[in-house]
């Protein structure tokens, strides 16, 4: 019996897929199809898969050409499968010509002519009306967004808002956007969604007005500095049928999600301690150093360091204590925030004027997970045990500046898949706002 194998995402199943499977089957007697998991697609930079794995498998099976389906979830699996199933022919469409020649060592490799003018990518664009995103604020962070959005299908960055018209226009020209506006209402009329990257303390008002205009909101971290404001914005987004997401890029990245899943899988036993550090020495003239009310290390980087704690120990901490080293203007150049949970501890270290190793350490009853700097752009982490020889190393891709992952989730939440909130839940965003509020109350009101 001649065995054939092929692989693909088979998203939004189309005629090209059907033709390929038909011809693949004709190459032998028994056809095995490997369908990729969403996580694997993300790690290889293929964002925005629309159909669930089950739907994609069902569609592949429904052709009637397929004898067996396997799930492809890691690099190197093709060789494993070819050996395991004793495959005679590996086949794939002609868009991959040459890329799989390395498999010739194990079996025949056949590239089948690709069907013209149809692809999942084309379908995704046709199916989902393009979401027009406008950027609120035109500073350093905002400038990275348009470039990253280019990697996400279904979105376009159309314009920018800044109350100073000349800044808005200069930014729009530089980044080749259609418009720069200084009137917020007029700006909102031209977009479906906003990415808020203005100074921290303005987020709340801009987000609220945008939601009232029924615009979806992706808001830079920290979204707001008051728990009640976060609750209010999420209530409003629900009432308006809009998406509201906090833009903490780590939360949406494949590597960090893999790390969280690994920690939760029990491989290191019960999680008892989460320690995360993030420091970046910052120029004394920048806002982080000069804004006496909302600048400083914890408000700037706390969203990153709190994230693994909330994911792994939950939101119900019993106590928090902040210890800071301050500059003359009162901002914290270094802050340690210590948390006590019922059965665990956590420590967040953030700095703008003190440098330390930026690492994430998750300690459990059977072992620990260590992600080295820059753990917030998670590319690799180690699982370690009492026995140093048992060490396991995991790696994952983190592409570009990483904003593409949050933009991709945002776009998918807007175009229908509202269940994607698990990567950063409303509850987690609300708790973070509450922690920021406590910090500011303790550290700034006394000034
Ligand atoms: N394929 C094909 N003809 C097309 C599209 C895909 O023969 N018009 C083949 C691919 O070469 C591959 C298989 O179908 O062997 C599964 O491809 P997949 O990547 O899932 O489909 P695409 O439509 O190419 O997806 P995307 O646009 O997301 O890259």
pTM over 0.85, yes/no:
no
Give the three-state DSSP class for 427.
helix
Atom of ligand 1 nearest to the CA of 6: 15
Judge whether 71 and 35 are in contact, CB under 8 Å: yes
Residue 191 makes CB contacts below 8 A (sequence gap 6+) with 132, 133, 134, 158, 159, 215
CA 98 to chain CA centroid, Å, is 32
For the chain, 447 residues long, give each residue's pLDDT as a single digit of tens. 999 999 999 999 999 999 999 999 999 999 999 999 988 887 777 777 888 899 999 999 999 999 999 999 998 999 999 999 999 999 999 999 999 999 999 999 999 999 998 988 778 767 666 899 999 999 988 999 999 998 887 788 999 999 999 999 999 999 999 999 999 999 999 999 999 999 999 999 999 999 999 999 999 999 999 999 999 999 999 999 999 999 999 999 989 999 999 999 999 999 999 999 999 998 888 888 888 888 999 999 999 999 999 999 999 999 999 999 999 999 999 999 999 999 999 999 999 999 999 999 999 999 999 999 999 999 999 999 999 999 999 988 888 888 999 999 998 888 776 555 679 999 999 999 999 999 999 987 644
Helix H or strand E segment including 55: helix 53-62
Tokens of 236: 């409003």
13, 55, 119: residue to mutate for ligand 1 pocket, most atoms within 8 A of CB: 119
State which of 25, 50, 114 you would mutate to test the pocket of ligand 1, scoring each by most atoms of that ligand within 8 A of its C-beta.
Answer: 114
pLDDT in tens, 398-421: 888 889 999 999 988 887 765 556
Reported for 228-233, long-range contacts at CB under 8 A and 24+ positions apart, including other chains, are 229/204, 229/433, 230/429, 230/430, 230/432, 230/433, 230/434, 231/430, 232/208, 233/204, 233/207, 233/208
Q: How far is the CA of 315 from the centre of ligand 1 (A)?
A: 42
CB 295 within 8 A of CB 269: no
Provide the token pair at 383: 């699982």
> What atom of ligand 1 comes closest to residue 93's alpha carbon?
11
pLDDT tens profile 335-390: 999 999 999 999 999 999 999 999 999 999 999 999 999 999 999 999 999 999 99
What is the CB < 6 Å shell around ligand 1?
6, 8-11, 16-17, 20, 92-93, 95-96, 114-115, 118-121
> Taking a C-beta distance cutoff of 8 angstroms, is the pair 370, 381 a contact?
yes
Cβ count within 10 A of residue 59: 19
């Amino acid at each position: 019996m001649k065995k054939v194998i092929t692989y693909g995402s088979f998203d939004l199943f189309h005629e090209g897929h059907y033709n390929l499977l038909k011809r693949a089957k004709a190459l032998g007697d028994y056809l095995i199809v490997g369908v990729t998991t969403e996580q694997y697609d993300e790690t290889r930079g293929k964002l925005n898969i629309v159909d669930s794995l089950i739907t994609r498998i069902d569609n592949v099976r429904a052709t009637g050409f397929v004898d067996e389906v396997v799930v492809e979830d890691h690099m190197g699996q093709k060789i494993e499968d070819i050996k395991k199933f004793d495959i005679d022919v590996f086949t794939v469409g002609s868009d991959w010509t040459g890329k799989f020649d390395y498999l010739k060592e194990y079996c025949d490799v056949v590239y089948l002519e690709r069907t013209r003018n149809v692809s999942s990518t084309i379908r995704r664009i046709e199916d989902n009306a393009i979401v027009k995103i406008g950027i609120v604020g035109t500073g350093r962070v905002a400038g990275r967004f348009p470039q990253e959005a280019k990697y996400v299908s279904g979105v376009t960055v159309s314009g920018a808002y800044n109350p100073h018209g000349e800044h808005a226009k200069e930014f729009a020209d530089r980044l080749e956007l259609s418009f720069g506006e200084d009137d917020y209402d007029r700006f909102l009329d031209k977009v479906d969604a906003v990415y808020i990257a203005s100074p921290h303390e303005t987020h709340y008002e801009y987000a609220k007005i945008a939601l009232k205009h029924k615009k979806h909101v992706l808001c830079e971290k920290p979204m707001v500095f008051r728990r009640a404001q976060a609750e209010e914005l999420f209530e409003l987004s629900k009432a308006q049928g809009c998406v509201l997401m906090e833009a903490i890029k780590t939360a949406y990245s494949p590597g960090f999600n893999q790390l969280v899943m690994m920690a939760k899988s029990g491989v290191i036993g019960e999680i008892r301690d989460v320690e995360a550090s993030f420091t970046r020495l910052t120029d004394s003239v920048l806002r982080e150093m000069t804004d006496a009310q909302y600048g400083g290390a914890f408000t700037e980087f706390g969203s990153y360091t709190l994230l693994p704690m909330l994911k792994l120990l939950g939101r119900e901490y019993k106590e928090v204590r902040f210890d800071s080293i301050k500059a003359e203007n009162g901002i914290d150049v270094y802050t340690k925030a210590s948390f006590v949970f019922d059965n665990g501890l956590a420590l967040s270290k953030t700095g703008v004027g003190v440098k330390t190793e930026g690492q994430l350490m998750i300690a459990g009853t059977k072992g620990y997970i260590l992600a080295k700097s820059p753990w917030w752009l998670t590319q690799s982490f180690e699982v370690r045990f009492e026995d140093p020889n048992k060490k396991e190393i995991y790696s994952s891709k983190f592409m570009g500046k990483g904003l593409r992952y949050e933009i991709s989730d945002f776009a998918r939440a807007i175009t229908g898949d509202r269940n994607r909130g698990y990567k950063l839940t409303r509850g987690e965003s609300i708790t973070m706002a509450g922690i920021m509020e406590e910090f500011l109350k303790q550290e700034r009101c006394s000034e």
